[in-house]
A and B are shown apart, each in its own frame.
Chain A
């Protein structure tokens, strides 16, 4: 086993622990935005797609790379936008208004 693989495996294992640690604190009410947000994050594979599409390794590679960039871009942009739309709804309603009205008619 060479050294760089060992370092990469270390990063992998530590990232798994960080992932579990961070995610286990998210309440159920936020699980859908969480799923959608992590969904956007794995769109980072676009980095690999860019390296393929931008290299000059022949037509096949360029075609495959371009499709991969398109896939990755829609994953990233769509994912973050949809998550933002969901989270926009979790703003607080003005509490005062609701309870005042309750007092008037109740």
Chain B
């Protein structure tokens, strides 16, 4: 077996480990080992590549690997669980950046060679370069928005759609020029620069609440850019892994879009939050009735004597980092024999399943976590629904008000339970900027304040009951 064959075999093992690893991610019990299997596969692929005959020296590889590896390891160790989405955005961005840079270097090498360059190589290089660049700059903006370095509000330039379309068209035209025999490294650099601007432009216009969908989409982009690099290098492991990520990212993006009742084009081009503003103002006038404020002591009595309590955690809980306090409250209630469940909306938190991670961090046993479709039939048999920092995902307008911007979005039907307690910082509207008629329901009482402080005082009050 030649050296090339051996490396190819190692790549095959790597691809198999990636697929088995992803397969094992489908159950909480095997997920961790799945991730580790994939990591082993990655180590094998990297080690095999070092034996490639094209690798002539290791100095700069080691420098780059140490610099990047240390940065990645420190970031991954230090990040708080609530800041996980922006960390994923950051890692996704550098992955896209790597794909774009590899494309740039490959182009530099290819055009230097005498003779005609195959169109398929040029096309793959252009795809990696452009998509990698969009993913890099887009992810950095997503990181900035989630980290709140830049405003989470959609920043729309005049003629947003026209500008985005024009930038995309310019990139496409430049790619055609480059792809049809015009060899110019400067032109490729210009194309990539415009692609970077396109990424910034696209993500700046999207509100902070939609960042999960954006990250998922950009994850798919980076995957496809990686696969395309595989076509340039005729490397199957890059094609397979990049495509796996591309397929999974696309599927996840679709699932999230469905959970928010929006299409991907609507997320990318809709500039939600600004368009919804007008509708929200109209909606605010339409809701009448009074909001009932309550005290921690009153709520504690309700909870302590309930048979079943369903906790609906939302983004507000994540921001206040109240997951540990919620677990304590639930423990207190369970000790009194209350059946406590958690209802998790698919887009609660800032990424799909983000809420599950936060609650798992607080040691909430995952059999207590119920997904939307499983818990919704249970609300009529629920004594108290405790809504903590969630808003749009429990808004009955999604079912009852055809004019509402969120009409048609699947919601948690807390309004069907016997009583509802909403923990909320103030009467501000949610991300979507829509008034919530649930708060005016006679069955609803509101406990205002910071989620963490409110939950802590509830726990104390329950102990005292």
| Contact surface of A with B, Cβ cutoff 8 Å | 4-5, 8, 11-12, 15-20, 22-58, 60-62, 64-90, 92-93, 95, 98, 101-102, 104-106
Contact = CB atoms under 8 A, between A and B. Distances in A.
A84 B39 CA distance: 10
Interface in B335-363: 335-337, 344, 346, 351-354, 356-357, 360-361, 363
What 3 A-B pairs are tightest by C-beta distance, nearest first? Answer: A78-B72, A19-B247, A69-B64
B242 A31 contact: no
B239 A43 contact: no
Interface stretch (B154-162, B199-207, B216-224, B290-298): B216-224
Interface stretch (B30-38, B380-388, B405-413, B422-430): B30-38
B60 A65 contact: yes
Nearest to B21: A37
Interface string B274-298: 0000000000000000000000000
Give chain A's interface secondary structure class.
helix
Nearest to A101: B335
Contact of A73 (B26, B64, B360): B64
B105 A65 contact: yes
B242 A44 contact: yes
A30 B61 contact: no
B98 A102 contact: no
B134 to A, nearest CB: 14
Interface stretch (B49-57, B174-182, B309-317, B396-404): B49-57
A36 B337 CA distance: 37
Interface stretch (B144-152, B230-238, B264-272, B447-455): B230-238
A69 B346 CA distance: 35
A48 B95 CA distance: 12
A54 B144 CA distance: 33
A87 B31 contact: yes
A101 to B, nearest CB: 6
Most buried by A among B19, B56, B57, B102: B102
B105 A78 contact: no
B98 A68 contact: yes
A45 B238 contact: yes
B46 A46 contact: yes
Given A32-B357, A79-B76, 8 more contacts: A12-B227, A19-B247, A29-B28, A45-B95, A52-B105, A72-B68, A77-B68, A93-B365
Q: Which of A5, A44, A102 has the most CB of B within 10 A?
A: A44
B378 interface: no
Nearest to B32: A87
Interface string B73-100: 1011101010011011011101101110
A44 B42 contact: yes
Contacts of B328: none
Contacts of B50: 50, 54
Interface string B363-385: 11110010100000000000000
A67 B68 CA distance: 9
Contacts of A72: 68, 94-95, 98
Contact of B245 (A42, A61, A80): A42
Contacts of B69: 73-74, 76-77
A61 B109 CA distance: 8
B251 A47 contact: no
Interface string B238-249: 111111111111
6 contacts: A20-B251, A28-B352, A64-B101, A71-B101, A78-B71, A105-B336
A74 B85 CA distance: 16
B227 to A, nearest CB: 7
Contact of B251 (A11, A24, A87): A24
B9 to A, nearest CB: 15
